[in-house]
């Protein structure tokens, strides 16, 4: 089937796990509620949330006052010559600080518009992170389960055997990785209050002697070292012998049908929509959970090298999957990729012109329900929508900018209502 690339080789996976898995570290309540956040009000759907091609053309036309031809619309969804069925059983490992919130928004919108069944965490916002994922943390599983789950995409520390108990056997697995250098700069700001970071005056101090500040058994040490390796379920303090690195990369390669790269986000979206047999409109998104530039820092070469050393497993993982990502682009066709990325950007620009008034600091957002969760020293930006949008525009625009916690709660409630008529 399209997109469901290859069979997972379970024997290899088990071996990989045996080698490198360690036990979870104790967890502190991290994703606590943001006191300022209001309960979320999304206008209910009357119109299709995910507009049809025709509706999109009309929407874009309103913006530009030009006709977007059929050709450039639906035929932009070039799936080569292959006929394919859109994939709807999806597992997304949501890694930390990798633009994964924007991917989650895409999955939320796709699932909502098609009434797909989400596997929600009991804690609503994450599957008992940073413990290993267990089916016990899935809301209503298995007692209240009405039908197979389609989408699972909340934060977790990955454990394949447990995920497989929940998700159908033809599930498409994917995740996203980011350059560990910028990732570390971001997580230092965002997770400033986690025990590994609190005692360090700044990132440079921390890196001058990281093992003084950060030991494996400190709570949330997963945020401070090899965070992607940790989220993938491996030992983030594991030795970086070539043998381990090979095992790590191969295991991830076998389990995941696709690994996206944050630095090439638009190319990633194109590969994703191709693998899932979706359309460009399905993967349209705005940056969510982005930091204000004021809390961003430029790193010296020396600092960058220290980060790579401290996060060697993540670094090797990233280099490997960056390479396989571009091999995949090569197979897809460079020229075709360039065209589709252009088309995606064009549509994003058009929709943002329609929807967005501005991107702003949390205290400058008019609608309190659109304020994103804030953490550490990072100022997480939100959006103000244009006033006086038409109803169907409002429905779409709202969903494109609503922060993930609010959207998740909304979907959770909606699904619960559906389950108990
Ligand atoms: C756009 O297309 C519609 C029908 O396909 C046509 O009626 C309309 O005049 C066109 N508008 C422009 C600006 O070309
Ligand atoms: C459609 O695509 C063609 C060829 O790529 C381009 O010349 C044309 O301007 C596009 N039309 C619109 C309305 O975007
Ligand atoms: C969540 O994690 C804690 C700490 O590791 C553990 O004690 C608890 O049993 C876990 N709960 C679920 C539902 O998995
Ligand atoms: C996958 O699941 C379906 C439906 O639950 C089942 O009929 C099928 O035998 C399973 N396939 C494999 C390879 O386990
Ligand atoms: C990722 O791949 C691209 C394309 O091959 C390359 O230009 C870039 O240097 C790579 N990045 C890293 C960190 O290896």
Q: Which residues pair with 81 in a beta bridge?
A: 79
Domain count, the chain: 1
What is the rounded average pLDDT of the residues 140-151?
A: 83
Residue 136 CA, closest ligand 3 atom number: 13
Convert the pLDDT of each residue in 299-355 to its tens digit.
999 999 999 999 999 999 999 999 999 999 999 999 999 999 999 999 888 888 888
In a domain, 41, yes or no: yes
- pLDDT class of 71 with cuts at 50, 70, 90: very low
Give the Cα separation of 359 and 365 in Å (integer): 9
R_g of the chain computed on alpha carbons? 21
Cα separation values, 168 from 104, 154, 187, 322, 415, Å: 19, 17, 33, 28, 19
Is the distance from CB of 132 to CB of 234 less than 8 angstroms?
Answer: no
Residue 346 CA, closest ligand 2 atom number: 14
Q: Which residues pair with 259 in a beta bridge?
A: 175
Give the distance, in angstroms, between the CA of residue 287 and the centroid of all CA atoms in the same chain: 11
CA 24 / ligand 3 centre spacing (Å)? 10
Give the Cα separation of 285 and 413 in Å (integer): 23
In a domain, 15, yes or no: yes
Residue 323 CA, closest ligand 5 atom number: 2
What is the rounded average pLDDT of the residues 381-404?
A: 82
Give the Cα separation of 120 and 128 in Å (integer): 11
In a domain, 390, yes or no: yes
In a domain, 392, yes or no: yes
- The whole-model pTM stands at 0.79
CA 293 / ligand 5 centre spacing (Å)? 24
Q: Tell me the ligand closest to 135's alpha carbon.
A: 3
Q: If you take atom 1 of ligand 3, which residue's CA is the nearest one?
A: 128
In a domain, 232, yes or no: yes
What is the rounded average pLDDT of the residues 193-218?
A: 91
In a domain, 4, yes or no: no
* Pairing, β 172-177 against β 258-261: parallel
CA 58 / ligand 1 centre spacing (Å)? 10
Pick from 25-29, 138-142, 314-318: least confident? 25-29
Question: Which pLDDT score, from 0 to 100, does residue 79 have?
Answer: 63
Q: If you take atom 14 of ligand 5, which residue's CA is the nearest one?
A: 319
Is the distance from CB of 43 to CB of 391 less than 8 angstroms?
Answer: yes
Q: To which H or E segment does residue 195 belong?
A: helix 195-198
In a domain, 1, yes or no: no
Residue 27 CA, closest ligand 3 atom number: 4
Angle, helices 180-190 vs 301-310, to 10°: value is 90
Give the Cα separation of 187 and 190 in Å (integer): 5
Question: Which pLDDT score, from 0 to 100, does residue 206 have?
Answer: 92
- pLDDT class of 80 with cuts at 50, 70, 90: low
Q: What does the chain come to in residues?
A: 421
Question: Which pLDDT score, from 0 to 100, does residue 75 have?
Answer: 38
Question: Which pLDDT score, from 0 to 100, does residue 356 have?
Answer: 83
Give the mutation target among 55, 62, 66, 67 for probing the ligand 1 site: most ligand atoms within 8 A of CB.
67
Give the Cα separation of 213 and 247 in Å (integer): 28
Question: Which pLDDT score, from 0 to 100, does residue 65 have?
Answer: 39
Q: Which structural domain, as residue segments, surrounds residue 249? A: 10-419
Q: Tell me the ligand closest to 347's alpha carbon.
A: 2
- The listed range with the strongest mean pLDDT (91-95, 219-223, 283-287, 387-391) is 91-95
Question: Which pLDDT score, from 0 to 100, does residue 42 have?
Answer: 47
Q: If you take atom 1 of ligand 5, which residue's CA is the nearest one?
A: 322
The conformation of residue 125, written as its DSSP 8-state character, comes to: S
In a domain, 5, yes or no: no
Q: If you take atom 13 of ligand 2, which residue's CA is the nearest one?
A: 68
Instruction: Give the binding-site residues of ligand 3, using a 6 Å CB cut-off.
Output: 24, 26-27, 128, 131, 134, 136-137
CB of residue 67 inside a 6 A radius of ligand 1: yes
CB of residue 68 inside a 6 A radius of ligand 2: yes
């Amino acid at each position: 089937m399209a997109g469901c690339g290859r069979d997972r080789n379970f024997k290899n996976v088990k071996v990989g796990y045996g080698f490198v898995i360690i036990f979870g570290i104790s967890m502190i309540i991290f994703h606590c509620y943001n006191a300022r956040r209001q309960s979320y009000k999304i206008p209910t759907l009357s119109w299709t949330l995910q507009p049809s091609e025709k509706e999109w053309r009309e929407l874009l036309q309103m913006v530009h006052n030009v006709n977007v031809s059929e050709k450039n619309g639906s035929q932009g969804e070039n799936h080569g010559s292959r006929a394919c069925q859109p994939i709807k059983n999806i597992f997304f490992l949501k890694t930390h600080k990798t633009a994964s919130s924007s991917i989650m928004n895409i999955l939320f919108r796709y699932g909502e518009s098609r009434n797909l069944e989400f596997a929600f965490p009991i804690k609503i916002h994450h599957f008992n992170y940073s413990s290993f994922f267990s089916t016990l943390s899935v809301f209503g599983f298995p007692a209240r389960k009405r039908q197979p789950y389609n989408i699972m995409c909340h934060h977790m520390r990955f454990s394949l055997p447990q995920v497989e108990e929940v998700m159908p056997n033809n599930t498409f697995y994917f995740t996203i990785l980011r350059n560990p250098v910028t990732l570390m700069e971001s997580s230092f700001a965002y997770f400033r209050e986690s025990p590994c970071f609190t005692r360090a005056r700044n990132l440079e101090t921390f890196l001058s002697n990281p093992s003084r500040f950060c030991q494996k058994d400190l709570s949330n040490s997963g945020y401070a070292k090899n965070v992607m390796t940790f989220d993938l379920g491996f030992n983030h303090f594991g030795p970086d012998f070539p043998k381990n690195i090979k095992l790590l990369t191969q295991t991830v390669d076998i389990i995941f049908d696709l690994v996206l790269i944050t630095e090439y986000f638009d190319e990633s979206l194109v590969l994703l929509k191709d693998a899932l047999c979706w359309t460009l409109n399905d993967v349209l998104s705005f940056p969510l959970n982005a930091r204000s530039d004021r809390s961003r820092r430029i790193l010296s070469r020396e600092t960058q090298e220290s980060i790579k050393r401290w996060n060697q497993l993540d670094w090797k993982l990233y280099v490997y999957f960056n390479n396989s990502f571009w091999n995949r682009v090569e197979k897809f066709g460079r020229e075709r990729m360039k065209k589709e990325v252009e088309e995606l950007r064009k549509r994003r620009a058009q929709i943002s012109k329609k929807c967005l008034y501005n991107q702003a600091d949390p205290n400058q957002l008019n609608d309190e329900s659109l304020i994103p969760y804030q953490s550490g020293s990072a100022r997480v930006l939100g959006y103000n929508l244009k006033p006086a949008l038409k109803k169907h525009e409002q429905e779409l625009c709202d969903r494109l900018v609503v922060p993930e916690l609010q959207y998740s709660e909304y979907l959770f409630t909606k699904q619960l209502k559906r389950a108990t008529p």
